[in-house]
């Protein structure tokens, strides 16, 4: 009981000063929907927190300095070797600080997990359509976070100043130099003169431990605030509509679950750091501009950039008295530009094409947006080809084929594979939709065979249950294009005229291609069904139009 009294005391103290009771009560009961894929975002957050913790530990010993020293530490093979202080201090962390190696490895694994989770999370958000209005801002923040994470990681693994990371810096310098007009200046300003100079490690250090983590932290905060404020999306299911959010309350359920998840993330990283060695810089040796070993690879999230540089043909010309290094700046900027730029404009492009400006809180099942899903898979394939090409020497080695053949395959696959992926994925989605339709029309097969009086055998079916019904019938209904609605001979409304209107109409037909639901379930009434089934109130219905086709059409006329 005294615990209760103490808590009450603290609560009273705070509420007297902050007026917290009212708001915090609501917060405690805030509903969080459940789905395994919603955990991906949490992995990002927790690996970032682990990066902050382990990174701070590393700063206690790491010396961001390129001053030459002769090594005298515990790692015998390198004793007497000339190296930078940065490299020597990383050896020191690994061999002379208790727990130092563990923390270094957790830090590195956490960086990889961070980036992997960002990718997986982005993929989840894309394929479920969770980026749609009102969440476009968070989608854009996510893309910025991805980019920042790439730079943060690149700068981080450059800090130890080992042979491998030095090559990464050299490539960075080469890419900068290739940029038209400003390139040489940028390279000289970043490196404080010619490569490698003595400035780059201290400069990367402050970017790595302060500037970029600060930006990431700020953006993550805004990201989470927006997620909180707009409430989480949910997957379709019984009782779940576009106007509610169904799940368990933050306190104690979500808190406990997410706490457990933090522990699991930490445990997984500790296990990886214990049993799977990552970045053994003492084997690579200190950086020197003369040596380089075969099979050197950057961290996985830089692989696509690496592959793109490897694959691009040697196109370079001297024009107007200047060198245009297309062979460098195009592969450095274009493919990732297509992916990030494409991802950034897609939500707005989709809105323009479909004319759908309503809010979406109920996620799409990927099959129910065949074009979007196919585009996403095409993009992943595009990225995947570049990524695989980034390790083509290793692939060639393992498969025992010629290195040059792998590059030629990548050069072709870069263009062809995404198109194939698009076509195949769309087919699969439409096929799955047909299967769903079949289920709705004919019910679930029970495995019971019956003989009809006429002697014919049939398999008995039963109608799908409520939960499945809600899932199967969940569709985001799109408003019709104004010009498609306009009767014969009528003048199409503004926005649908001219060439742009034609393009929009074409794209509309592609984007909305779908297998329709059977008559009795059409127009998103499935949600209504499910709602009635659990006796939920109809009150909120219609305040958010999306997902309820007829109402939405009414609202659509406004623009």
Residue 152 interacts with ligand HEM (CB under 6 A): yes or no: yes
Residue 331 interacts with ligand HEM (CB under 6 A): yes or no: no
Nearest to 215 by CA among 151, 159, 148: 148
Nearest to 273 by CA among 107, 431, 118, 157: 107
| Residues between 114 and 133 that touch ligand HEM (CB under 6 A) | 114
CA dihedral 410, 415, 417, 418 (to 10 degrees): 130
Dihedral pair phi/psi, residue 451, rounded to 5° = -100, 130
CA distance 396 to 392: 6
Question: How far apart are CB 304 and ligand HEM at their closest, in Å?
Answer: 16
CA distance 246 to 30: 10
Query: Which one of residues 104, 240, 310, 365 is an interface residue with ligand HEM (CB under 6 A)?
Result: 104
Nearer to another protein, 359 or 364 (CB): 359
Helices (H), 364-444: 370-389, 392-399, 403-442
Contacts with 351 (C-beta within 8 Å, 6 or more apart), sequence order: 132, 133, 357
Burial of 375 (0-12, 13-18, 19+ CB in 10 A): buried
| Residues between 225 and 264 that touch another protein (CB under 8 A) | 228-231, 238-239, 242-249, 252-253, 256-257, 259-264
Query: Which one of residues 33, 43, 66, 108 is an interface residue with ligand HEM (CB under 6 A)?
Result: 108
Query: Which one of residues 53, 81, 96, 485 is an interface residue with another protein (CB under 8 A)?
Result: 96
Q: Centre a 10 Å sphere on the Cβ of residue 361 and count the other Cβ atoms it contains.
A: 24
Residue 360 binds: one of ligand HEM, another protein, none (C-beta under 5 to 8 A by kind) = none
Q: What are residue 458's DSSP bridge partners?
A: 450
Residue 107 interacts with ligand HEM (CB under 6 A): yes or no: yes
Nearer to ligand HEM, 168 or 479 (CB): 168
C-beta of residue 75 within 8 angstroms of C-beta of residue 284: no
Question: How far apart are CB 232 and ligand HEM at their closest, in Å?
Answer: 23
Nearest to 302 by CA among 504, 116, 29: 116
Element (H, E) at 83: strand 82-84
Query: Which one of residues 206, 210, 403, 448 is an interface residue with another protein (CB under 8 A)?
Result: 403
Query: Which one of residues 177, 368, 371, 476 is an interface residue with another protein (CB under 8 A)?
Result: 177
| Residues between 433 and 472 that touch another protein (CB under 8 A) | none
| Residues between 1 and 60 that touch ligand HEM (CB under 6 A) | 48, 51-52, 55-56, 58-59
Residue 59 binds: one of ligand HEM, another protein, none (C-beta under 5 to 8 A by kind) = ligand HEM
C-beta of residue 105 within 8 angstroms of C-beta of residue 57: no
Residue 147 interacts with ligand HEM (CB under 6 A): yes or no: no
Size of the site for ligand HEM (CB under 6 A): 27
Residue 109 interacts with ligand HEM (CB under 6 A): yes or no: no
- Give me the residues that bind ligand HEM (CB under 6 A), please: 48, 51-52, 55-56, 58-59, 62, 90, 93, 104, 107-108, 111, 114, 149, 152-153, 156-157, 159-160, 208-209, 213, 216, 279
């Amino acid at each position: 009981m005294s615990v209760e009294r103490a808590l009450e005391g603290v609560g009273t103290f705070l509420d007297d000063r902050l007026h917290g009771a009212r708001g915090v009560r609501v917060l405690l009961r805030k509903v969080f929907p459940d789905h395994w894929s919603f955990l991906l975002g949490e992995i990002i957050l927790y690996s970032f927190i682990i990066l902050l913790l382990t990174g701070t530990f590393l700063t206690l010993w790491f010396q961001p300095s390129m001053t030459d020293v002769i090594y005298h530490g515990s790692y015998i093979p390198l004793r007497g070797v000339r190296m930078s202080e940065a490299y020597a201090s990383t050896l020191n962390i690994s061999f002379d600080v208790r727990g130092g190696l563990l923390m270094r490895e957790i830090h590195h694994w956490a960086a990889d997990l961070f980036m992997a989770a960002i990718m997986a999370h982005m993929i989840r958000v894309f394929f479920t359509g969770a980026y749609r209005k009102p969440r476009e801002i968070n989608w854009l923040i996510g893309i910025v976070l991805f980019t920042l994470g790439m730079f943060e990681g690149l700068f981080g693994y450059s800090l130890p100043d080992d042979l491998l990371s030095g090559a990464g810096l050299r490539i960075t310098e080469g890419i900068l130099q290739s940029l038209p007009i400003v390139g040489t200046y940028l390279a000289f300003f970043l490196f404080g003169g010619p490569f490698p100079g003595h400035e780059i490690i201290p400069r990367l250090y402050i970017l790595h431990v302060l500037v970029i983590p600060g930006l990431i932290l700020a953006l993550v905060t805004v990201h989470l605030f927006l997620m909180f404020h707009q409430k989480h999306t949910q997957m379709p299911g019984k009782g779940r509509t576009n106007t509610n959010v169904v799940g368990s309350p933050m306190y104690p359920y979500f808190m406990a679950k997410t706490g457990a998840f933090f522990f699991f993330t930490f445990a997984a990283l500790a296990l990886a750091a214990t049993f799977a060695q990552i970045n053994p810089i003492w084997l690579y040796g200190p950086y020197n501009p003369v040596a380089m070993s075969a099979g050197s690879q950057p961290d996985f999230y830089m692989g696509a950039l690496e592959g793109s540089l490897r694959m691009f043909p040697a196109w370079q010309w001297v024009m107007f008295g200047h060198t245009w290094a297309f062979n460098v700046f195009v592969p450095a900027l274009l493919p990732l530009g297509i992916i990030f730029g494409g991802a950034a404009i897609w939500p707005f492009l989709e809105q323009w094409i479909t004319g759908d400006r309503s809010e979406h809180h109920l996620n799409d099942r990927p099959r129910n947006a065949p074009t979007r899903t196919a585009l996403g898979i095409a993009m992943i394939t595009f990225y995947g080809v570049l990524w695989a090409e980034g390790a083509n020497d290793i692939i060639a080695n393992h498969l025992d084929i010629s290195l040059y053949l792998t590059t030629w395959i990548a050069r072709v696959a870069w263009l062809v594979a995404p198109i194939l992926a698009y076509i195949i994925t769309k087919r699969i989605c439409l096929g799955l939709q047909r299967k769903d339709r079949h289920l709705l029309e004919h019910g679930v097969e029970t495995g019971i065979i019956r003989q009809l009086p006429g002697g014919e055998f049939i398999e008995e079916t039963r109608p799908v249950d409520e939960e499945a019904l809600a899932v199967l019938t969940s569709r985001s209904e799109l408003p019709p294009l104004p010009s498609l609605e306009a009767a014969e001979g009528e003048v199409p409304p503004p926005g649908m005229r001219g060439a742009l209107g034609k393009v929009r109409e074409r794209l509309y037909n592609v984007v909305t291609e779908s297998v329709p639901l059977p008559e009795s379930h059409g127009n998103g009434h499935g949600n209504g069904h499910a709602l009635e089934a659990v006796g939920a109130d109809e009150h909120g219905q219609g305040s958010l139009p999306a997902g309820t086709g007829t109402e939405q059409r009414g609202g659509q006329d406004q623009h």
